[in-house]
Structure 1
Amino acid sequence: MTTSAQAAICYGRDKPFAIEAVTLDDPRADEVLVRIVACGICHTDMAVRDAQLPTPLPAILGHEGAGIVERVGSGVNHVKPGDRVIMSFNSCGHCPSCDIDKPTYCYNFVPENWIGTRTDGSHTTHQGNAGVNANFFGQSAFATFALGHARNVVKVPDSAADVPLATLAPLGCGLMTGAGAVLRSMNVRSGMPIAIFGAGAVGLGAIMAAKIAGANPIIAVDVHDSRLALARELGATHTINGKTDDAAYQIRALCPQGLGYAFDTTGINKIIEQAFDLLAPLGIVGIVGASSRADSLTFNEASFMGGGKRVMGILGGDSDLVTFLPDLIQHHLAGRFPHEKLIKTFPFDQINEAFHAGESGAVVKPVLVMPS
């Protein structure tokens, strides 16, 4: 038995998303069929639309899904029909990274998340007899139903039963990345200074997490005054407009001994190199911003070695989904992670308007809400 669904199919940058009828396979042993209630829009979706990542188009994107479990495969026992769940990236579960609970660095990340099919080449989703590229991040949640996997579907704790799924959905990628970078990857210490470059969803997630960690000062750098105002509301102690102010000069004035941590979400190599130059001994630069494959970074070797400094690439905030997503939900319930302030919801059939709102900067985190 298959499941009928409506899905937003991406045909590329020059064409709008088109909502079309599809059918989904029954869940295999390790799969979970989820009725999607809401799905966040992330810059990674935009990158695939623009052919910057290897997912073949046309395809069903969406990787911040949240919904209700409909059916589970025979090997799934941590969720059951009727459970509220969040979906995130998939991983293989048996490589050296997965063996040490670092699934964001799964050796098989590309085939598990980006090739448009299951790892065995079979399609999860069809139109008539033709397969549709899906299984994006192990879900493809720009749809009314999605097939997830045992490793990327996380049950929402009962304590969050009253939190709307549209609020929880964005935790599955961008916000998790920013918060995890601070709390897990860099393990920011209380009382140490941090500068966060870029106050989009990832950067604002990092600012909220830096406040949780007790960092001080927490410096937000962006070129939009509206986002800097939101950064202050969420925990930044200082804000700098990188378009009009000399960010390096101001950070040195605030932190004459240097930064303990710098977190870049821009992917701009000159900003990353500047952040490195601002580090104190043992300082860390964490990098999550996507950059061109042609870009390189240049650091002074003596400063790098002699100061014990680190430059750290970060994926997904080093998040182990089963533990970290519930942690973020508890922070939200306690008022320490008020990420609802970033969200604006859009009906599913306004997906193109929602993408435009995210790209223009009018909305930090657009979230699609499926028809009930």
Structure 2
Amino acid sequence: MLITIVAGARPNFMKIAPIIKAINAAKEKGKAVGFRLVHTGQHYDKKMSGDFFEQLGIPDPHTNLECGGGSQAEQTAAIMVKFEKEIIAHKPTVVLVVGDVTSTMACTITAKKLCIDVVHVEAGIRSGDMTMPEEINRIVTDSICDHFFTTTEIANKQLAAQQVPQSAIHFVGNTMIDTLYQNLEKIKQPSFWPELQLAPGNYFLLTLHRPSNVDDGEKLKRILEAVISSTAGVPIVFPVHPRTRQMMDKLQMDTSKLLMIDPQGYHEFIYLVKNAKGIITDSGGITEEATVLHIPCLTMRNSTERPETVTMGTNELVGDDLDKLSKYLQQILAGEWKKGDIPAYWDGKTSERIVEILDSLYNK
């Protein structure tokens, strides 16, 4: 069995790292399994890509399609053209895609048109927000792939409601949490920590990158001002995404209360997550990490494709309600936040379950 694994953007790297480790472990036990790693090049910034490969122990890709830049349509087309050549040249048994980025959708379509099975890791999650490019990617991918590896029972029910056969739904857990557990002993204090006089529990961690929050300069300014005014002078560590940085450079506002830093490597970033008083974000993956680490988390979105982080975990949705943001931050400052539970199968063994199921499906 040859598995072509697709990775294109930073969230993908955290999801594929433990799968590759599990494949290698299965191979050492005598299983007839190998992989070919295809990096689409969707993210090509060193801090957003290269550091993650190095820190997570991901091997050099067998190929990089170098499809960074351009509009979503241009990037999708470029990935499909180059991935088609990759598939024809190497004829995998199955293609494995993860998450919900452009690469996920583009490679799924390409493989299926070549009659190659596709399995989707993190299938079945939905935000209900059709303005999110990721939601389109999820829907298209799940409409045509062959097997669905899910993170929660909520995703199982979502797929069942769409008439996906139960035999194709595999409830395995969350590979991002595999990566988290595998790296907790490796996380390290960022180099700026002493200079900024940070200490565990004495700062908030802020991340913003979604177009709905950062592409409108006035909206971004309102969010940042609300965060600053509601955190009672507690330091705000703000790793600035390249997309956000472009808009920040145009804003005329006092940012002296924001400790703006470059995007961090995985080990440094998880150190910041683990030691934060609370997190303000519009990222889905960070809400999962915060839930497992029991860190209070506020999501600057009106919906989430990870509702378990709200119903079970430490996350709450804020959306555009800045009064709610202030109220929630006051609760965190007062130490009155919910503790939260960890969803089933978020136990660090998801990737092993995935490889066992792939072995049973395709090694016959």
Instruction: Answer 1 or 2: which has greater strand percent.
Output: 1
The two structures have a TM-score, normalised by structure 2, of 0.29
Instruction: Answer 1 or 2: which has greater helix percent.
Output: 2
